[in-house]
Amino acid sequence: MELRGIFPICERDFIVSWRNISSDLLPTIVSPLTFFLAFGFGLQGYLSDIEGVPYMTFMVPGLVSMTAVTSAFDHGAWSLWFHRIVQKTINEYRVNPISVYEIVIGKILSGFLLGAIKGMVVAIILLFLINFQTSTGSESAFGEFKDSSLAVSHLLFYLLFVFLGSMIFSCVGTMCGTVMDRPEDLNKIQGVVITPLVFLAGLFFPLSSFPPEVLPLIKLLPTTAIFEGARQALLQGRVESQYILELFSSAAISFILAVIIFQKYIEE
């Protein structure tokens, strides 16, 4: 299978997105920052530490993961839909000697990278606000990691969860952008599927808050592996093999499905 067309397609999407980076970053940053300030300031007086960390610190890994995965989904879905329905760029690609595999992999890769970059931008801002860079024990207006140097060593494990989550959501977005012809349907997927999956995964509260009868089902959600797994990795340095296996298998399955669905619809 030829792969030389992947990087030009990914590069093109990257250049186009970079031209609008200032206008794109503003809503990307404002949304998680609003959650952080509103819930953090609004509820921190009513909540004790959660799992040993201040509530505002507890929220940060989830907000960063949320930004990365939703950005990956948005780019995968809207980029492919726009290029397929409006600009007809996909048809132009097919005139060239490149395969459908190269097209869809290029789209998935660009969505994954843009989602990961936006997540990192939000991470820098939020980690600064919770005084991530200070030495152990120093005070911050927004909270602190109890052991900042330990949290830094956990960052690579945390990034693994963010990258896998961005890959999964980029693939899901690519599938939606491939099969849906109306922009209203993409909005419905975001409202009916993506948002509940994100908020039910313990973004703002610990999973122990769920009733015991419901908790096993919640743990099966891929978003639980992304958000809870990432939080455990960053704040506790703990990596659950179940979450890692779930994310790798979800990423592989979603990637295969995205390629198969794209190939089927393009060849019709």
pLDDT tens-place string over residues 69-78: 888 888 888 8
Q: Please state, rounded to an integer, the average pLDDT across all residues of the chain.
A: 80
Question: How many angstroms from the chain centroid is the CA of residue 239?
Answer: 18
Q: What is the pLDDT of residue 249?
A: 93
Query: What are residue 137's phi and psi, to 5 degrees?
Result: 95, -10
Q: What is the pLDDT of residue 47?
A: 73
Which among 38, 34, 35, 32 has a CA at the least distance from the CA of 70? 32
Q: What is the pLDDT of residue 153?
A: 64
Q: Which three-class secondary structure state does DSSP give residue 53?
A: strand
Q: Averaged over 79-85, what is the pLDDT?
A: 82
Q: What is the pLDDT of residue 32?
A: 86
Q: Averaged over 116-144, what is the pLDDT?
A: 64
**Measured between alpha carbons, how far is residue 13 from residues 74, 112, 118, 160, 252 in Å?**
13, 12, 15, 24, 23
- pLDDT of 144 strictly over 60: no
DSSP string over 207-266: GGGS-TTTHHHHHHSHHHHHHHHHHIIIII----HHHHHHHHHHHHHHHHHHHHHHHHHH
Q: What is the pLDDT of residue 151?
A: 59
Q: How confident is the model at residue 35 (pLDDT cuts 50, 70, 90)?
A: confident
Among 70-84, 94-108, 217-231, where is mean pLDDT lowest?
94-108
Q: Averaged over 153-172, what is the pLDDT?
A: 84
Q: Are 71 and 162 in contact (CB under 8 A)?
A: no
- pLDDT of 117 strictly over 70: yes
Q: What is the pLDDT of residue 123?
A: 82
Which among 137, 152, 125, 123 has a CA at the least distance from the CA of 237? 152
- pLDDT of 241 strictly over 60: yes
Q: What is the pLDDT of residue 257?
A: 92
Contacts of 225 (CB under 8 A, 6+ apart): 161, 242, 243, 244, 246, 247, 250
Look up residue 166 and give its amino acid: S
Q: Averaged over 9-15, what is the pLDDT?
A: 79
- pLDDT of 85 strictly over 60: yes
Among 1-10, 27-36, 46-55, 211-220, where is mean pLDDT lowest?
1-10
What is the reported pTM? 0.80
Q: What is the largest CA-CA distance in the chain?
A: 62
- Which 3-state string (H, E, C) describes 151-203? HHHCHHHHHHHHHHHHHHHHHHHHHHHHHCCCHHHHHHHHHHHHHHHHHCCCC
Residue 231: both structure tokens together = 């939080």
Q: Are 234 and 152 in contact (CB under 8 A)?
A: no
Which among 171, 231, 190 has a CA at the least distance from the CA of 207? 231
